[in-house]
Amino acid sequence: MVQETNEKRLLLGPRDRGLTFTTEIKNLHTIAPYETIDVGKIEVTGIKTAHGPLTMKLGPFSKTVKPGPNERIGWGSIGFEIRMSKKVLVNLGDTLIHRDEWKTMNSPDVLMIPIGGRSVHNTMDENEALEAVKMIKPRLVIPCHYNCAGLHRKNANPADDKYFHDEVKKLGIDCIILGINDSVEL
């Protein structure tokens, strides 16, 4: 989400409490699924993804919003295939599994994949993510979008990252669980 104020473009602050626009954007590129853009020596292609149903609760009231066939809900969902220096990184973002669309992905160097959809099925859970890993066949897997605080909950999307890690390793594929300030070099 971007907001323009006082001739500045601001992004929703990823670490701010609430919905606060605090991060200034100087160079913004938009992209749609299947579209490719070049940013310097980096090529980025949008990947079709879909966020699952969102349930919003306020006291005793709740409303569930479900995406339609070609809709994105919430803050939207899109994945990215990023090509740079002969390496390919795929970040599926915040999505449910897309069995047909992802069959064409061909062994990226890195796959970042959500695993936190077990209790609130708005992304893949560990087993669906494993199914996607088998289909995509990456060299390295990094699980994401799990065990995160959300609104007023300490863990809005629990997942067993050790189970996921061990199952990926059984497939003969490397898997790294990154913590805060961790990095990986390719």
Residue 32 · residue 24 · CB < 8 Å: no
Residue 164 · residue 143 · CB < 8 Å: yes
pLDDT tier at 112, thresholds 50, 70, 90 = very high
Q: What angle do CA 175, 13, 25 make, to 5 degrees?
A: 100
Q: pLDDT digits over 34-77, tens only?
A: 999 999 999 999 998 887 777 666 778 877 776 655 554 444 67
In the numeric block, which tokens belong to residue 115? 């695993």
* pLDDT, position 73: 45
> Has residue 21 got a pLDDT over 90?
no
More confident residue, 4 or 76: 4
> Has residue 154 got a pLDDT over 80?
no
More confident residue, 80 or 5: 80
Indicate the residue type of 40: G
In the numeric block, which tokens belong to residue 41? 């020596």
Instruction: Tell me the C-alpha distance between 93 and 123, whole Å.
Output: 9
The whole-model pTM stands at 0.81
Query: What percent of the chain shows pLDDT beyond 70?
Result: 81
More confident residue, 123 or 133: 133
Domain annotation for the chain: domains and CATH numbers: 1-29 (no CATH), 31-175 (3.60.15.10)
In the numeric block, which tokens belong to residue 137? 């066949």
* Residue range 76-89: mean pLDDT, rounded: 91
Instruction: Tell me the C-alpha distance between 162 and 122, whole Å.
Output: 21
